[in-house]
Structure 1
Amino acid sequence: MPTDRQRWLHAKRVNTGRPIALCEYTKVVLIKSSEGHAFFTVADGTSDYVGETVFISDQFVDRFLSKTPPSMLPTTLSVKYATRSRAISAARSNEVLDQQWGTLRVSGGNAISVTLNSLWGGQYTPIPPGVHRIMAPDAPHDASYTNFYVDFAARTGMGEVIADQVWFPIELAGSEGNSTRYVHVGNLSEGCVTVYALDRWNEVYNCLISHRLPDTQGRYVANLEVTK
Structure 2
Amino acid sequence: MAQAILNNNQAPSNRQGGSTHPAVVVTKYTKRADENGWLSVKLEPKGTLVALCEYTKVTFTKESGGRTYFRIADGNSEFVGQTASLKTENALKYLMDTPPTAPATVKVKYTGAPAHAISEFKGKLLQQWAQVSFNGKTAKVTLNSQWGGEFTPIPPGRHRIMAPDRSHGNISTGGYKAQGNLHCTDVWFPIELQGTKGNSSRYIHVGHLSDGCVTFYELIKWNDVYDYLICRRVKGEGGKYVGELLVEK
Q: Give the TM-score of the pair, scaled to structure 1.
A: 0.92
- In structure 2, distance between residues paired with 1:137 and 1:11: 16
Which residue is 1:211 aligned to?
A: 232
Contact 2:33–2:94 (8 Å) recurs in 1: no
- Secondary structure at 2:228 match in 1: helix
Q: 97, 120, 123: which is aligned to 1:67?
A: 97
Q: CA-to-partner distance for each residue in 1:15-41, whole Å, 9 max, x for gaps? A: 321111000000000111110111000
Which residue is 2:15 aligned to?
A: none
Which residue is 1:224 aligned to?
A: 245
- In structure 2, distance between residues paired with 1:222 and 1:12: 29
**Is 2:90 the partner of 1:91?**
no
Which residue is 1:142 aligned to?
A: 169
Q: CA-to-partner distance for each residue in 1:59-107, whole Å, 9 max, x for gaps? A: 1112110000010x23210000013211111233xx0111000000113
In structure 2, the CA distance between the partners of 1:183 and 1:199, relative to structure 1 (3 Å rule), is same
**Is 2:216 the partner of 1:195?**
yes
Deviation at 1:2, TM superposition (A): 5.3
Question: Which of the pair has more CA radius of gyration?
Answer: 2
- In structure 2, distance between residues paired with 1:176 and 1:130: 14
Matched to 1:211, the amino acid is R
Q: 147, 154, 159: which is aligned to 1:132?
A: 159
- In structure 2, distance between residues paired with 1:7 and 1:85: 33
Which residue is 2:41 aligned to?
A: 11
**Is 2:204 the partner of 1:183?**
yes
Matched to 1:43, the amino acid is A
Bigger helix fraction: 1
Contact 2:38–2:54 (8 Å) recurs in 1: yes
Contact 2:105–2:134 (8 Å) recurs in 1: yes
Matched to 1:81, the amino acid is Y
**Is 2:146 the partner of 1:119?**
yes
Structure 2, unaligned stretches of length 5 or more? 1-30
Structure 1 residue ranges, 4+ long, deviating more than 4 angstroms after superposition: none
Q: CA-to-partner distance for each residue in 1:179-225, whole Å, 9 max, x for gaps? A: 00000010100000001111100100011100001211110001000
Contact 1:143–1:164 (8 Å) recurs in 2: no
Identical-pair percentage: 47
Structure 1, unaligned stretches of length 5 or more? none
Which residue is 2:132 aligned to?
A: 104
Alignment coverage as a number of residue pairs:
218
Q: 97, 111, 115: which is aligned to 1:82?
A: 111
Q: Give the TM-score of the pair, scaled to structure 2.
A: 0.84
